[in-house]
Structure 1
């Protein structure tokens, strides 16, 4: 659940910058965007992992799937089979990175 919250916060924050820079919206889009990106960074610190890099790597798969959900729900573009196949592979990879057996250090 932390990864999903982090993904939504990151995507929303980046979307605010996208709207400002690419769609010519007012700079007021930046305030909620920055707050959302700060929430994203905070949420990732809550992930139970013995290494930050591993937590971030596993997050990448969740981010991919959440981005496609955003594409569909917010932007109104339905992901195609290649989008869904790629997201599935990323989620499998994220699970392996996060929960794969580790040798004792």
Structure 2
């Protein structure tokens, strides 16, 4: 699997998980109703399947790397959807997480 395909899968997983959690938040905390919550549950289920398309067979490695994508993606979601303004420490933390993703997923390993 190419690095580009792996990154696309991580981005799709992030959209499904962050979007699903946001929909549930909107349904419950913002009183938008059960349809929002149901859509969020479906999106969260989709996230679980998207992660299985990564080529690495190790669930722990995929999930650990995805967590770094989740951190950066959550901040990006906040900027785009909720008009959140991350400070420099948010950005530094997200950058550190993305470096961690690169090391975990794409470092050369002996087979």
Normalised by the length of structure 2, the TM-score is: 0.87
Which stretch shifts more, 83-92 or 24-33? 24-33
Alignment of structure 1 residues 1-105 onto 2, 5 Å = 1-104=8-111
Equivalent pairs counted in the alignment come to: 104
4+ residue runs over 3 A deviation: 101-104
> What is the rounded CA distance, in whole Å, between the counterparts of 2:40 and 2:57 in structure 1?
29
Question: Which ranges in structure 1 are unaligned for 5 or more consecutive residues?
Answer: none
Task: Please report the RMSD computed on the Cα atoms of aligned residues, expressed in angstroms.
Answer: 1.2
Normalised by the length of structure 1, the TM-score is: 0.91
Question: Which ranges in structure 2 are unaligned for 5 or more consecutive residues?
Answer: 1-7
Preserved contact between residue 28 and residue 37 of structure 2 (Cα < 8 Å): no
> What is the rounded CA distance, in whole Å, between the counterparts of 2:41 and 2:33 in structure 1?
14
